[in-house]
């Protein structure tokens, strides 16, 4: 998150792979050694918002927290297209794609 804020990345995608110590999901902590992460970076109320998902053991889960050992993350930044997140009336997160207005 600090890297994304430092470079002012407001929209993009990220991928990660490597060794993890553990991942925390809503269901609790899970020990995972090898994992692949996918995520989106969007603008939520003027601040960067990251949604991270992990694919491991044939399942995809949303990540709350993680601790890594040797992990590589690749961020693809979108400069011409904006991703926007917002909360609907039920508090559910929605994501939309739109061109940047100048």
Topology (CATH) of 2-99 = 60s Ribosomal Protein L30; Chain: A; (3.30.1330)
Q: 50 with 39: CB under 8 angstroms?
A: yes
pLDDT in tens, 45-57: 788 888 899 887 7
Give the residue among 95, 27, 14, 12 at the shortest CA–CA distance from 57: 27
Per-domain residue ranges of the chain: 2-99
What per-residue confidence (pLDDT) applies to 99? 53
* The residue to which tokens 């609907």 are assigned: 88
Q: Long-range contact list for 94-99, CB < 8 A, 24+ apart? A: 95/40, 95/42, 95/51
pLDDT in tens, 2-57: 777 777 888 899 999 888 888 888 888 877 777 889 999 988 878 888 889 988 77
What per-residue confidence (pLDDT) applies to 101? 47
Helices (H), the chain: 2-6
């Amino acid at each position: 998150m600090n890297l994304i804020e430092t470079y002012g990345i407001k929209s993009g995608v990220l991928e990660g792979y490597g060794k993890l110590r553990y991942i925390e999901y809503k269901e609790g902590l899970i020990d995972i050694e090898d994992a692949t992460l996918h995520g989106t970076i969007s603008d939520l109320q003027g601040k960067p918002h990251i949604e991270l998902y992990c694919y491991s053991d044939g399942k995809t889960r949303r990540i709350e927290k993680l601790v890594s050992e040797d992990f590589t993350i690749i961020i693809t930044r979108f400069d011409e297209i904006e991703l926007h997140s917002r909360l609907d009336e039920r508090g559910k997160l929605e994501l939309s794609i739109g061109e940047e207005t100048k």
